[in-house]
Amino acid sequence: MTPNLHLWLIPVLPLVGAAINGFFGRKFSRQGVAGVALCFSGAAFLKVLMVAFTFSSLAKPHIEFLAPWIRSGSFQVDFSFYLDQLSLVMLLVVTGVGFLIHIYSVGYMWEEGGFYRFFAYLNLFMFFMLTLVLASNYLLMFIGWEGVGLASYLLIGFWFTKDSAASAGKKAFIVNRIGDFGFLIALFLLIKHFGSLNFDQVFSSISPLSAETGGAGLLTAIGLLLMVGAAGKSAQIPLYVWLPDAMEGPTPVSALIHAATMVTAGVYMVSRSHVIFERAPMALTVVAIVGTLTALFAATIGITQTDIKKVLAYSTVSQLGYMFIACGVGAFSAAVFHLMTHAFFKGLLFLAAGSVIHAVSGEQDMRQMGGLRTKIPWTFWTMTIATFAIAGIPPFAGFFSKDEILWRAYQSSWVYWAIGLFTAFLTSFYMFRLWFMTFFGTYRGTAEDTHGDSSHGPDHGHGHGHGHGGIHESPWVMVGPLVVLAVLSVTGGWIGVPGSLGGDNRFEKFLSPVFHSSIAVSGAESHGVATPPEKETESPEPQASHSKELIFTGISVFAGIFGFLLAWQLYYRDPQLPQKIAASLGGLYEAVVHKYYIDELYATLFVKPLIAGSALILWHGIDQNVIDASLDNSAHGANQVSDSARHMQSGNLRSYAGWVAAGAAAVIVYMIWTGTR
Amino acid sequence: MLALFVLLTAVAYTVWLERKVVGHMQNRWGPTRVGPFGLLQPLADGVKFLFKEDLTPPHVYKPLYIAAPMIAVVFALTSIAVIPIGNTITIGSLVIPLQITDVNIGLLIILGVTSLGVYGVALAGWSSNSKYSLLGGLRASAQMISYEISLGLSLVGVLMLTGSFSLRDIVDAQSGTFWGFIPRWNIFYGGQFIAFFIYLMSAYAETNRIPFDLPEAETELVAGYHTEYSAMKFAMFFMAEYANMITVAAVASLLFLGGWHGPLFGPPLLQSLLPIFWFVLRIFGFLFVYIWVRGTLPRFRYDQLMAFGWKFLLPLSIANLVVTALVVALRA
Amino acid sequence: MVPIAYYLILSGILFACGVTGFLIKRNIISIFMSIELMLNGVNLSFVAFAAQWHALSGQIFVFFVMVVAAAEAAVGLAIIIAVYRTRETLNIDQVDLLKL
Amino acid sequence: MTHLIVFLLFGALCVAGAVNLLVQRHPINSALSLVVVMGSLAVEYLLLGAEFVAAVQVIVYAGAIMVLFVFVIMLLNAGEEEHTKGSRVALLFGIPGILVASVLIGWVLIERTGSHLLWAGALPGAPRTIGWLLFHNFLLPFEVTSILVLIAIMGAVVLASHPDADQGKKER
């Protein structure tokens, strides 16, 4: 019997913190609240570390049963936790980054109202996220899934007094609903056809199945539906619209939820159910295409954004697109790898951006920044590292994972590779654009402009807190996490050095059992778009692939550098040039600035008709004319009937007697009529 | 028919007896003129009643006014029917049962009939549309209902001792003696003298006799329920009252005083006639007590009457019932 | 010997008379007496059935009915007296305060 | 034969009394006709052999309850009942309803019980056996009924007890 690790502690600890802060935090001092939050999230992190140390000695997957939940006939769902390499990686990322961001938030949110509320939500999010990661069945996973949605809703709408924040929260929630809908249907299909939701049972019952080439098969349907859910949670086309708006939330939230952890839940889910996808090539293709499009699309939008957080948001979307490409081409390990590194550097980016915003007192518009390099050196350097990382410049973390993905993509189809490459170039371009605009040149903003321009500047509400002094470096509680994350974003990639660069890709090997197990069962299948990556790595002639891989690596690096140069040219050498180009591009530029009018499109396509229809049919039609009307009429009818019937009560004893006699006669007639037949 | 005749004469001579005794008690002679010791007085009274003018006052409710006395007298006389005045007489070969009918619930019939007797009084009081009569009728009905309860309960004790409703059986159960000299009467037996006392009181009330003659209290309501009656109708009420007295006396002597049992001697004919003699003797003794009480006691007030009936007699009779039941149960 | 049906029909007639009296009488006391009449009809049928099935329990029920009737008469007449005291009438048609 | 004759005689008396109860407009006449009904019913009971029932019928019903009625009638001095326009409901629904009901009941009774003959004194309800039954098989109902009567007495006293109606209280 494998030892009991008490995995349940990992999610429950943050929950306890959340409960304490949520219920009693109002009474605590800020130190108290921060202490509680940090204690519990840190405790969760330590617990995960302990688990990680004992991990090698575990039989994998290691399933811990906590309590029975649903038992109906053969169908049963338990509160049980599923620990394998994949979930371990996720655990480390979530708790680690989450802990760091907790620390950061203490400094960032110090001046805010609702301090305890913020940390209660944050811990709550940790709880749900960990539940999601540790779940041993789809239902428990779904609980976590919904829970993180709830937490993100709460945190996006943290400054609920602000319309934009509140509506952004609602938007995120509703858009997620759409995805969850698909997810739910997928679950129902699973229940219907495999009679279970536990990963091991489902997978073991799926493994024997052969891949479906057709698009209409059961697994394909399930895969597509799961993909819908993933798209909703991970902000893929067409459901990505909520993520940029989610930047209304406090920056740490953006870092934690909307960059590092929650949005990657979709990737986690897809790669967790890789067994299904590998047997649904059609679904995989869809995943890949969606990922590609999203990556490109978001990147192009990212170029034109001027709000620092929006830029990061779109870059997040496009990075997620990368991960989905990886999933789509069956390189799940690569996806998870990029997920991890992305968690590092994107979290770092956001935190650094937050630090910048902090420094310039709530300003978010990059055009109001510039020349901050010297003012806030720590932030600058960490931000630099992060930028290089995301731009895919070796030897930073992003390079390895992105390169891995591109290589896999090429192996599956050169189209993916080309678009991915172009996206990589765009990414580095807009990241360096941001970098240059923020830190170089001359300062274009007014230091005392604490309120910024309330049109942009979602942190406006908390801007009040920063009325002191001019531009200033953030306190150490904020800088510390930056440094740690910077280190991680430098070194994070080294655990996955591909063979071509003389590494042996330890990360992939570490993860391989997860993604291998299924292949071992269904190793025979060789057709379909999704050629399992492991087969490639174990292909007979590694040298050729290695040399080829090297070339591609070079190309991608060059793309990154090219982006850097372009940005340098446009935003450092000659800052006037962009306007010219924009003017020359004209309508296209406009479209891009306005995010291709996607929001407006959705508004006209779905939102307005929906509201109108609800108002017309549901509200006036059904609610007023049917439900209310039925109630009113029934009450009215009762009133009428009793009004006429009350004359029976004439107070005249003999008329009562008459009624009684008539009734008795009726009863007797009935009895005799029934009795004589 | 014979029994009816005997009863009527008995009634008449009860009246005579009463007048005589009361007269002597009040240092008067009573009736003396008609016949020796006025023995023919009842006859004269009867004739007088027959020939008097029967006047019906106006404003009376005719049908009931006429029906009331008849109801009274009929019920009074029918109750005699089930009373045995002795065992069968055997003269030579022919056997004469000295009882009109012997139903084995004779006592119940007597009670029922006497309870019906109330109607006569009540209706008379009501129908003859005068305040005296109405008050008399009300009092009569209320008082009779009230005392009927304790009357019946006082009898139940005896019934339990001799588990039968048949008067004959009850009487036969009282033959013989205790220790040779005390007659084995119910009154001496199982503490039934309490029951006898209760019975006596209730009987006085039932028959509207002093000290309970509230319904016909001459001094308050002129003559109570028969104020408005005259001649034969009045005579009927009179007869009904005395017939009731005789019935009550007979029941008392049957139930408590050992019926017709007594020393038998002489020739067989005498022996067969002696029980009747003993029985009639007891009845007249009882009637004498009636008259005696009338001569001595004053009248109750109405509320006293009711209080006496409900708060003293009824609990007492119930207690007696319980004790007797215990005695029977222990003896069984 | 009499067919039991005769007794039952007699009891039915009595009962019907009682109900009719209840319906057409206006004097509270008369209505009350009609109720008693109904009870009597029922009693007769009880006794008749008891005789038919040779089960004395029928007669026992008659006793219960009588006792209940007695109690009912006591209470009911007391109520009538109270009503008369307050309303000064025995006409049921004039005692109809309890209405809407 | 005599049995039948007696039955018919007193049955006719019964029905006459009942009808008289209906037609008489003075309560006291109704009461007396009811007494007649009860008396003849007692005779019917005797015919059926239920002597004890008959006796109790006479004593309790005719001798106590009806006296009570008469007493109340006298006490309240109830006069002729005036003809107020009663409820149409009673006449429209009640009478036809009860007629239908009674006809149906009679029909069913004849139909069901058939011509089961009853002899005079068919079931001798001797007081002894009845008492035995009453105190063995029907003990609980007996006690419950006694409690009911107790409550009824108290209720009557409470209801009728009024300074100006002492007799009402003294009844029963």
DSSP-assigned letter for residue A363: -
Q: What is the DSSP string of A17-52?
A: HHHHHHHHGGGS-HHHHHHHHHHHHHHHHHHHHHHH
- Smallest CA–CA distance, residue D89 to chain A, in Å, is 5
Contact of chains C and A by CB distance (3 or more pairs under 8 angstroms): yes
Q: Is the pLDDT of residue B59 over 60?
A: yes
Task: Please report which confidence band the pLDDT of residue A523 belongs to, taking 50, 70 and 90 as the band edges.
Answer: very low
Q: Return the percentage of chain D with pLDDT > 90, whole number.
A: 0
State the pLDDT at residue A544.
58
- Which chain C residue has its CA at the smallest distance from D98's CA? C16
Structural element, H or E, at residue A79: strand A75-83
Interchain CB distance below 8 Å, D74 and B122: yes
More confident residue, D146 or A600: D146
Residue D131 amino acid letter: G
Give the least confident one: A487-496, A534-543, B236-245: A534-543
- Count CA within 13 A, CB hemisphere, residue C93: 14
Q: Give the Cα-Cα-Cα angle B221, B224, B229 (nearest 5 degrees).
A: 125
Nearest to B272 by CA among B10, B80, B96: B96
A662 part of contact set with chain C, CB < 8 Å: no
Say what the pLDDT of residue D139 is: 85
Return the sign of the alpha-carbon dihedral for residues A130, A136, A139, A142.
positive
Pairs of residues, one from chain A and one from chain D, whose beta carbons lie less than 8 Å apart: 62
Question: Averaged over A316-326, what is the pLDDT?
Answer: 89
> For A654, which residue in chain D has the nearest alpha carbon?
D90
Per-chain mean pLDDT for chain A: 80
DSSP label at A573?
I
Is the Cβ–Cβ distance between A311 and A369 less than 8 Å?
no
* Closest by Cα among A127, A101, A113, A131 to A38: A101
Question: Higher pLDDT residue, A164 or B213?
Answer: A164
Q: Residues with Cβ < 8 Å from A72, sequence gap 6 or more?
A: none
Residue D169 has pLDDT above 60, yes or no: no
Q: How confident is the model at residue A448 (pLDDT cuts 50, 70, 90)?
A: very low
Q: What is the DSSP letter of A264?
A: G
D93, D100, D104: residue with CB nearest A658:
D93
Chain A: nearest CA to C50, how far in angstroms?
A: 23
Contact between residue A271 and residue A336 where contact means Cβ atoms under 8 Å apart: yes
Q: Check CB contact of D73 with chain C, cutoff 8 Å.
A: yes
Q: Supply φ then ψ for residue B180, to 5 degrees.
A: 85, -25
pLDDT at A459 > cutoff 50: no
Neighbouring C-alpha atoms within 13 Å toward the C-beta of B246: 31
- Residue pairs spanning C and D at CB distance below 8 A: 263
Predicted confidence band at A30 (pLDDT cuts at 50, 70, 90)?
Answer: confident
Which contiguous run of DSSP H or E holds residue A70? strand A62-72
**Higher-pLDDT residue of A45, B217:** A45
The CB density around residue D9, as the number of other CB atoms within 10 Å, is 12
Q: Report the pLDDT averaged over residues D137-150.
A: 86
pLDDT digits (tens, 9 = 90+) for D30-71: 888 888 898 888 888 888 877 788 888 888 888 888 888 888
Reported as a pLDDT band with limits 50, 70 and 90, residue A451 is: very low
Written as six digits, the tokens of A593 are: 């600035």
Tens-digit pLDDT profile for residues A554-581: 888 888 888 888 888 887 777 777 777 7
- What are the structural domains, with CATH classification, of chain C? 4-94 (1.10.287.3510)
Instruction: Average the pLDDT over C7-29 and give the result.
Output: 84
D22 CB within 8 Å of a chain A CB? no
Chain D contact for B156, CB < 8 A?
A: no
What pLDDT band is residue D122 in, cutting at 50, 70 and 90?
low
A654 and D101: CB-CB below 8 Å? no
Residue B90, pLDDT score: 60
Could you tell me if A294 and A236 are in contact, meaning their C-beta atoms sit under 8 angstroms apart?
yes
Which chain D residues contact residue A674 at CB under 8 A? none
Phi, psi of B183 (to 5 degrees): -60, 145
For residue C58, the model assigns a pLDDT of 82
Which phi and psi (to 5°) does residue B312 adopt? -115, -55
The phi, psi pair for A375, rounded to 5°, reads -70, -40
Position A519 scores a pLDDT of 43
Residue range A153-198, pLDDT digits in tens: 888 888 888 888 888 888 888 888 888 888 999 999 888 888 888 8
- Asked whether residue A503 carries a pLDDT value surpassing 70, the answer given is no
**In the prediction, which pLDDT does B179 show?**
64
Cβ of B126 within 8 Å of Cβ of D28? The answer is: yes
Would you say A89 and A511 are in contact if contact means Cβ atoms under 8 Å apart? yes
Closest Cα in chain D to B138: D71
Helical ranges in A25-135 per DSSP H:
30-55, 85-108, 115-134
Q: What does the alpha-carbon distance between residue A156 and residue A263 come to, in Å, rounded to a whole number?
A: 14
Give residue-wise pLDDT tens across range A617-673. Answer: 777 777 778 888 888 889 999 998 888 877 777 777 777 777 788 888 888 888 888
ipTM above 0.90, yes or no: no
CA distance A227 to A216: 15
- Average pLDDT estimate for A9-19: 88
C23 part of contact set with chain A, CB < 8 Å: yes
**Percent helix, percent strand, percent coil in chain D, to nearest 5:** 75, 0, 20
Question: How many percent of chain A have pLDDT more than 70?
Answer: 89
Nearest to C79 by CA among C29, C38, C40, C20: C29
- Predicted pLDDT at B163: 73
Asked if residues D54 and B121 have their Cβ atoms less than 8 Å apart, the reply is no
DSSP designation for B174:
T
Cβ of D28 within 8 Å of Cβ of B64? The answer is yes
- Percent over 90 (pLDDT), chain B: 0
pLDDT attached to residue B96:
61
CB A271 within 8 A of CB A329: no
Which residues are CB-neighbours of A237 under 8 A, at least 6 positions away? A231, A290, A293, A294, A297
The residue to which tokens 């049921």 are assigned: C92
Is the four-CA dihedral B294, B296, B302, B303 of positive or negative sign?
Answer: negative
Q: Is the pLDDT of residue A539 over 50?
A: no
